[in-house]
Copies of this chain bind each other. A is one copy, B any other.
C-alpha cells in the first residue's frame, strides 16, 4: 500500500543534488534580458516619455513603451476560463500602461544584451507625469467624487452578499449577547524563494514557447493568447521545477510580456528575471481586509448568528478580483454550519501594489476575524473556548447551507480534542492563572478553520492523467497537475502505485508540465490538486490495470478478470499465486508481433464535488509587556484532511503553513505610505519575514477521516495550515493580557499602541507591571 506511507519525495535526490532544473538553469545562448521601467509615483498619467537615449545605449536591442503594446485588455488571474460571462475575470490590464495606478506600475521595458545594460538604460529614460492624489484609505477610495482608478469603472471591483439559515437580524435580536468587533489585516507577501522568471522564444514564425516559473501553465497559455490576441495552439508553456509560488505564480505576471517581446524581436529568446524588490512590490500580495463582525450568542454557548462586513483591497489592478473576498467569506458556513450567517463584502481598487492569490485565498483574513469574534463570544459567556467551539463547529452530516451540500467527512471535534490533550489545556489554563499580571504573562489560544478542496462549483475542476507501462515493467505517469514544491508528483506516484498494485519505486512521474503534451489541468491552486487529480489518477490507473490484466489473459489463456496485480506481479486473484512478472508482460505487450501494443490509459476527469477540510491551532504564548514581544512556547496544528497520503510530506505542508502564519501574525507587513503610496520595505531585510531563529518548534497532528468523493479518501491540505495561527495567537495574547489585538501583524509597534490604549503601558510607554 503506497498511499499513506511517508515515501521519499520523488524529486528529493534531484533537488538535494542540485540537478533539478529551474527556469534560470535553462539558459539559452544569446538570450536577451528585459527590465521594466516602473513609475515612481503611485497615481497619475504619463505626460511625456523619451526613450531615445536608452535605445541608443550600446547593447540595448529595443525599448517598448505603452504606445507599442496591444490595446486589448486582459485579466491576469489564474482562473480557468468561465463559460458564464458574469463570472469572467476583470480585464483591466495592458502589457504596459500610460495610466499609473501604483508606485512601480509598468510603463516601458528595455531589452538588452544583459541585465546590467538593461538597468543602465532604464536610467536614461525620461518621463514626466500628471500626478493625482493616491487613493489608499478605504474611505478615500469610496468617496462619491473619488477619481476612478480605472477610468470608466467603479473603484468597487466587486461586491456580493449572502445570508443563510434563519434571519440574521432576528437571531441577533433574540441572542443573549451580541458582540461586535472590527478587524484589520496587513498586506503581506508570499516571499517564495525563486522570484518570478520567464523567458520566451519562437521555434518558427508562428509559435511562441514560454518557459516560466508558473503554477498554472495551461492557464498561462490561455491568458497569453488573450493578451496577444493569438490562437492558443500557437503558444506553448513549459513549467520546469519551481522554487515556490504560494499563489503568487497563480497570476500571469510575466508571460504575456516575454511572449510579446519575442514576437517583436523576431523570435529571439528574451528573459525577465525579477529582482526581489520587483517581485515583492511588482507582482502580487495578500489583500489587506477591513472586517466588521457581529456575533449573537446564547448563554448556553450556542452561537446563533453572525454578520460580517468585509472590505478587501485589491490594489491597482483587479487580478483575482472579488473572488478572494468571496472565497474567504464562504468558509463560515462549513465551519459553523448551524449558525445563521450573513456576509457582505466589497473589493476595492487602491493605488497600492496589486493583490492576488496567496495561500488560503481570503480565508486567513476572514477566519482571523471570525475566530477572534468566536473567542470573544466564548469569553463573554464565560465558557471555555474549546468547549464553545465543540458546541458550534461542523459535524459529519451537517449541511453546508451555502453550498447546500452535506458534509460527508468531518473530524474537527477530534482535532480539537487532540489539540487540547496535546496542550494539556485544562491543567495549563489553571497553572497560567498566576501569569496574568507582571511584565511576563502567559496565555493559551485556539482557533478553528474550514477550507475547501478546489473551486467547484465556482470554477470548473478538471484534471488529466496518462499512464504508460514501460518495457521494464515500470510506469511513467503524465499529469497536468503542477509540482511547485508541494510534493504533488510524489503523491500522484503513490496513488498510481496503490491502484496498480505496484511499488512506489516502480512509478515515475514525468516532471515539468508542457502544454503541448501534458494532460490538461488548471494547475496548482485552491489546494485542489491532490483532491481533484485523485479521481483522474484512480480512473486512469484502474483502466491501465484492466489492460494489463487483459493482456496477461491473452498470454495465459485465463480471463483477465481472474487475475490481479500484487507487488508488481501478475497473480491469480484472491489466491495470489504467481503468474508472471510485470517485465515479462510488458515485453510481450510491446514486442509480440500480433497481440498487444504499448499499454497506456488516459483520463480527463471533471470533479463536481468540493470536500471541506477542517483544522485548528493551539498555542501557548508568553507576552513580554515592556518589550511588546510575543514568545511562542508551544504551537500545534491538528488537521482533518481526510486520508493523509504521505505523512511526512503532509507534515511539511503544515510546518510551512504554520511558519507563514506566525509571520503574518507577528511581524510581516508590506508598509505603504498612506499618503504617497511609497513602499517602504520591498526587500527581505526590511520586510520582517521570520527566519528559523524566530520560529519555535512546530507540532502537528492529523485526524484521518475518509472522504468518499475523493479517489483515495484524501482532502486538501496545502493552504489550510496558514489560516489559524494568527487568530490562535491573538486569542492567547488576549488570554494572557486581556487585550484584544484586532489588527495584524501583532508586531511590537501595534502591540505598544494597543497595550497603551488598554492601560498596560503608561503614557511614556513604560509598562504597568
Contact = CB atoms under 8 A, between A and B. Distances in A.
A560 interface: no
Contact of A80 (B27, B233, B591): B591
A457 B233 contact: no
B81 A598 contact: no
Contacts of A384: none
A605 interface: yes
A602 interface: yes
A58 to B, nearest CB: 25
Contacts of A231: 472, 474
Given A19-B203, A203-B19, A222-B471, A81 B590 contact: yes
A476 B233 contact: yes
Contact of A472 (B232, B476, B511, B594): B232
Given A17-B204, A20-B203, A81 B591 contact: yes
Contacts of A14: 203-204
Nearest to A601: B602
A504 to B, nearest CB: 14
A193 interface: no
B17 A267 contact: yes
Interface of A is mostly: loop
Interface string A598-624: 111011111010000000000000000
Interface residues of A, number: 66
A11 interface: yes
A602 B468 CA distance: 11
A678 B121 CA distance: 61
Contacts of A599: 604
Contacts of A511: 203
Contact of A598 (B13, B520, B598): B520
Interface string A71-82: 000000000111
Given A464-B598, A587-B83, A598-B464, A517 B606 contact: no
A510 interface: yes
Given A462-B598, A598-B519, A470 B17 contact: no
A590 B459 CA distance: 11
Interface in A504-519: 508, 510-511, 514, 516-517, 519
Contact of A232 (B204, B233, B468, B471): B471
A82 B591 contact: yes
A588 interface: yes
A287 to B, nearest CB: 26
Nearest to A475: B233
B17 A81 contact: no
A233 B476 CA distance: 8
A223 to B, nearest CB: 12
Contacts of A597: 462, 464, 520, 603-606
Interface string A253-284: 00000000000000100000000000000000
Contacts of A459: 593
A478 interface: yes
A599 B462 CA distance: 12
A468 B597 CA distance: 20
Given A29-B27, A517-B478, A587-B81, A233 B472 contact: yes
A434 interface: no
A353 interface: no
A519 B469 CA distance: 11
B457 A593 contact: yes
Contact of A600 (B11, B206, B519): B519
A557 to B, nearest CB: 17
A205 interface: yes
Contacts of A82: 591
Interface in A278-329: none
B267 A203 contact: no
A224 interface: no
A591 B464 contact: no
A466 to B, nearest CB: 8
A456 interface: yes
Contacts of A461: 593
A234 to B, nearest CB: 8
A682 to B, nearest CB: 31
A603 B596 CA distance: 11
What are the 4 A-B residue pairs with the smallest beta carbon separation, nearest first? A597-B604, A520-B598, A14-B204, A598-B604
22 contacts: A14-B204, A17-B267, A19-B203, A27-B29, A81-B471, A81-B590, A82-B591, A83-B587, A83-B588, A83-B593, A231-B472, A231-B474, A233-B476, A456-B593, A462-B597, A464-B597, A466-B466, A510-B517, A517-B517, A520-B590, A597-B605, A598-B604
Given A80-B590, A81-B587, 19 more contacts: A11-B204, A17-B205, A17-B267, A19-B204, A20-B203, A20-B204, A21-B203, A80-B591, A83-B587, A83-B591, A83-B593, A232-B471, A233-B472, A456-B593, A519-B600, A520-B597, A593-B606, A599-B604, A600-B604
